[in-house]
Each structure stands twice: as structure tokens, then as C-alpha cells.
Amino acid sequence: MTTIDAVQTPASAAAGDSFRLDWMRAWRALRRLLADKEDTVQVFEIMRALSGKSVPNGYQRLLRAPEGGRIAYERQELAERLMDRPWVEHFAPGTVGAAYAEFTARENLSAEGLAEESRKARGNAEIDARHPYAWYGRRIRDTHDIWHMLTGYGRDGLGEACLVAFSFAQTGGLGWAFIALGAAFNTPGAEGKVVRRAIWEGYQRGRKAAWLPAQDYERLLAEPMASARARLNLTPPRIYDSVPPERRNRA
């Protein structure tokens, strides 16, 4: 599963949409997602239903960040940059970029593939709109797999659940919290207690970490992983790491 904080549509925002939450739509999508964690379209459905004002709020926060004004002004499309495989693969061993290149090759992932999944749920016009909020939503989407690298969470069920909890702390998007809670209470017994502790730790890590949406990602990808994590206050995922890999997909 790969995740996104989808955006309020520029057209509806311009028309005075109230950014209302659609809990029933989110619930139906969550049930489908819990049945198949690879059904990425359901993630976008949940985010669309519960994004509320998280995207405009995040964009305004970006403008207030030290380098956020420049980043917003340049409005770089990260998916296009990350689809340049020679560029992605040129980073030195031990860097964030090298980890991202290895991860996406091993998992057969691509930034464009994630973008296509988002379009299935929302349509090209909404996702690719030339609007600041749409661009910010794409930025959150396109950095998801980089956040996997930075946080140390894998693409197994538990890793994704922990990362969405982390993402809720970072972005305030209720869709992230909804997915995390669904995963937390979908695992019964003693194993469920460990899952809930790991997800809660993911949320706490997101609260303590530097705000990742305001990072200069070209610069970050060239940074050694250890120094990047230290600078961003990303401590190791203690509880997640304690769960044997063969058990992580039970979440």
C-alpha cells in the first residue's frame, strides 16, 4: 500500500466548498482497504473523504517555514524528478537517495505509478490541477516512499500502519488517522496490543520529528541517511523493529 494526503479540489474550493468530511465514504473505502492492503485506490478515497482543511492549512504552514516560500514559489513537481532514474541512481552509497533508489527498485515502485493510482480515485483534472493546494497534495503524495526510508518503516502491513500514524502527526489529515485506527483495531489478541503500541509510537515520532513537508528534497536525498535522521529528529522505530519481519504483515 502506498499512501497520499489528497487535496481539496481547486474548483470546489473556489466555489466555496465547506471542506466537509464524508465519514460513510471513508468507512466503505477502509473496509475494502483492510481486506486488501495493496488496493491503493482506497487510500485516495479515504483521503478525499476526510482531507478537510488539512491541505490548505499545510500549504499555509509551508509558506511560513524558513525555506517554504522559496519551495512554494518554485513549485517543483517531485514526481517528475523522481522518475528520472539516472538522477535517482547517482546518489552516493549511504545517502537517503541511494536508499530510495534501492527501495523503489526492490519493491518495483515508481513515483508515476503512485500518481496514476491517485488519478484513478480523483481523476486527472483534480490531481494535476495548476493550483497551489493541488501542488501541495502532490508533494505529500510523491514524498511518501521517501518517508518510508527516513522513518525506517517497511511496506508490510505494520509498517504502513505506523507510517500513516506518523503522517497524521505531520499533516493533520484525518484520513491518515482513520487508516491507522482501522489497522490498530483490526488485529486481535496479544498481537493487536503490539500493533497498537507500534502505531502509537509512529504517531509520537511524527510529533517529535522536524516538519518533513518543508524539506528541500533534492538536498535531502544527497544527505547521508544517518545525519539526515539526526537532523530531522527521527529516532529508530523501537517497537516496530522488535516485531519479527514475518509477523509484520498480520496488521
* Confidence at residue 124, expressed as pLDDT on a 0 to 100 scale: 61
| Structural contact between residues 65 and 72, judged by C-beta atoms closer than 8 angstroms | no
- H helix runs in 36-131, sequence order: 40-50, 54-64, 68-74, 78-82, 85-88, 96-107, 111-122, 124-127
Cα angle: 122, vertex 133, 230; to 5 degrees: 105
Q: Where are the domains of the chain?
A: 10-250
* Confidence at residue 123, expressed as pLDDT on a 0 to 100 scale: 58
Cα angle: 178, vertex 35, 189; to 5 degrees: 75
Distance between CA atoms of residues 106 and 100, nearest Å? 10
Q: How many CB atoms lie within 10 A of CB 55?
A: 26
* Confidence at residue 6, expressed as pLDDT on a 0 to 100 scale: 38
* pLDDT (tens digit per residue) in 127-176: 788 899 999 999 999 999 999 999 999 999 999 999 999 999 999 999 99
All 3 cell numbers of residue 134?
Answer: 493541488
Distance between CA atoms of residues 228 and 69, nearest Å? 22
Q: Using H for helix, E for strand and C for coil, what is the string for 152-185?
A: CCCCCHHHHHHHHHHHHHHHCCHHHHHHHHHHHC
* Confidence at residue 249, expressed as pLDDT on a 0 to 100 scale: 86
Whole-prediction pTM value? 0.88
CA count, 13 A, side-chain hemisphere, 63 = 8
